[in-house]
Amino acid sequence: MTKSPSGWTRQGRLSGNGGNGSSRTGCQGSKNNHGGAAPDSFPPGVVVEIKALACQLPHEHGLPLSRLSIAEIQREAVNRGLVASIGETTLWRWLNEDSIRPWYHRSWIFPRDPDFQRKAGQVLDLYEGLWEGKRLRPNDCVISADEKTSIQARRRKHPSKPPGPGQLMRVEHEYKRLGAWAYLATWDVRRAKIFGRCERKSCIASFDRLVEQVMSQEPYRSARRVFWLVDNGSIHRGPLSAERLRSRWRNIVLVHTPVHASWLNQIEIFFSVVQRKVLTPCDFGSLDELEERLLAFQQHYEQVAKPFEWKFTRKDLEQLLLKLAEGSGPISNVA
């Protein structure tokens, strides 16, 4: 099979995802060049080679692209001489057989903490009501804590318009920045209780104020143990942070997630709810209004909140780490 002349590839209208909107190829006299074979009848080896092409990063075969569209796979197959011509519909069908979609991408995180399994296992055990192999008691508490920084108060340059029949809410694109809050919050994993506060900046002092806000109330003040799940941010990192908190509250047990594994911290789920329900669209008349909305939402959400149904267990972790050891892939940043 010979390489097709470059003039045979007809440029169709581009679709919204960067692909070619037309499934017609340049050579109208023949859809393929297989000595009288029926249209769309290609040797199995051609199918395999094109699927292999779609499963490579574009720069690996000299293309100045970050990802491939159907139209680009079509052109590259012709330029390589794999086929004289081929329709996009045929390519779609072949790739769909194996769910190959190189025009999409997903973010991933590879575990880089040398103690990843032990730290992650501790967190997952707490979600299942265990600590060091023993069942938690009713007077043990599990708190998930973190901070959502740089939440801007944006005042739109024209008032937002509410939705109506056949009309979406309309929000002016341009805005004025009125400052920003750091929102520090906790989620009681077993009781679905929320505590939060807005601070001018995220620092050790602001985090300690959040701890004081929680630990000065029942049941945490008199609890047997209060496990605080935190990431490795500078305001609560390492053993020094644990010692600082234990010097004030003897029943606190600080538990760190592995490095780059905030997806193991349930407070991130609550923050995603805040982002969708409170901060999108971002339209506030002042910093005070933003603070009032955030704190009022805590009470609003608690009326319907239930403990999150966390399904990723230590067993799932072991299976995932086994796949990683076999070179099957990284850890997704979405729990």
Same domain, 43 and 179: no
Yes or no: say if 65 and 72 are a contact pair by the CB < 8 Å rule: yes
At 146 the pLDDT is 97
Give me the residue label for tokens 């506030």: 284
Same domain, 93 and 133: no
Same domain, 123 and 55: no
At 323 the pLDDT is 85
- Is position 330 within any domain? no
Read off the pTM: 0.76
- Is position 332 within any domain? no
Number of domains in the chain: 2
Q: 31 lies in which domain range?
A: 6-97
| Helix 88-97 / helix 70-79 crossing angle, nearest 10 deg | 100
- Is position 334 within any domain? no
Task: Check which CATH number belongs to the domain holding 310 and give it.
Answer: 3.30.420.10
Q: What one-letter code names the amino acid at 263?
A: W
- Is position 135 within any domain? yes
At 23 the pLDDT is 41
Q: What are the 10-residue block averages of pLDDT along the chain, 335 residues in total?
A: 41 43 41 44 92 93 92 95 94 95 86 90 96 96 97 95 94 96 98 97 96 98 98 93 95 95 94 97 96 97 96 92 72 45
- Is position 105 within any domain? no
Distance, in Å, from the CA atom of 66 to the CA atom of 244, rounded to the nearest integer, reads 47
Same domain, 124 and 85: no
At 243 the pLDDT is 95
Same domain, 296 and 265: yes
- Is position 103 within any domain? no
SS3 179: strand
At 262 the pLDDT is 87
Same domain, 44 and 155: no
